[in-house]
Every structure is written in C-alpha cells, then in structure tokens.
Amino acid sequence: MLRPYIESSDAMFPARDKPEGYDFGAPDEAEVMVDHIKAHRWTTTGKVEFEVSWNDGDVTWEPFQAVKLLIALDDYFALHGVNSWRKLSKAGKKQGGATEKKH
C-alpha cells in the first residue's frame, strides 16, 4: 500500500546532506578538436557545408565560416586538388580521401 510522502525534519537530522552530482573529471569547457573533414555538400541556397569528424567521435555538418581557418580544410582541399571551396565539385555529397581514426 502506498503512503503519502512526508518530508523528514531537518531538526531531527541536522547533518543530513543532499547528494551532489558525480564529477567525471572532465572540465565543463573541454576543448574538442577536429579530426578531419570527411565530405562536403552544397545547400539549396548555394552554400557549401563540410562534414566534420571530431576527436570525440561526433560528426557534424558545418558551414564554411566555421571551418575556414582549419588545417583540416587545407588537407581536404589538397585531397580534391583544389585551393578554394568555390572549386569543389557540386555533384552531390563527395567523399574525402581521409580515413576513419583507428582506436
């Protein structure tokens, strides 16, 4: 049978502490680095986006403005034989030559 909840008195249990969340040791603002750029695609508005593989295993699509200063972008351009995003193929999603990171 269920009973209604009655809160305990702090006067009866003065040293009682509420449990704190567990600290996994990672700083709140842990920096995540780009592993490599896997592919690119063109949006319907004519902008290019890049499929970015992060060192934490995440993969996201990022606009050119977010990746324009990355060495990984220079590597991606070299794989495609271009020196500018404007020269990238517009025939759908193109795979880069980079391979997945092995653990």
Using one digit for the tens of pLDDT, what is the confidence trace for 71-88?
999 999 999 999 999 999
Query: Do the Cβ atoms of 4 and 15 come closer than 8 Å?
Result: no
47 pLDDT tier (thresholds 50, 70, 90): very high
Q: Can you give the pLDDT at residue 103?
A: 34
- Pick the residue with more confidence: 57 or 102? 57
Give the list of residues 6+ apart from residue 72 with CB closer than 8 angstroms, or none: 34, 35, 36, 37, 52
Task: Provide the residue ranges of all domains of the chain, joining segments of one domain with +.
Answer: 34-88
Whole-prediction pTM: 0.61
CB 93 within 8 A of CB 49: no
Q: How many residues does the chain have?
A: 103
How far is the C-alpha of 58 from the C-alpha of 95, rounded, in Å? 17
Options 3.90.1410.10, 3.50.50.60, 2.40.50.40, 3.30.365.10; CATH of 34-88: 2.40.50.40
Position 78 scores a pLDDT of 94
What is 24-62 written as a DSSP string?
A: -S--TT----EEEEEEEEE-TTS-EEEEEEETTS-EEEE
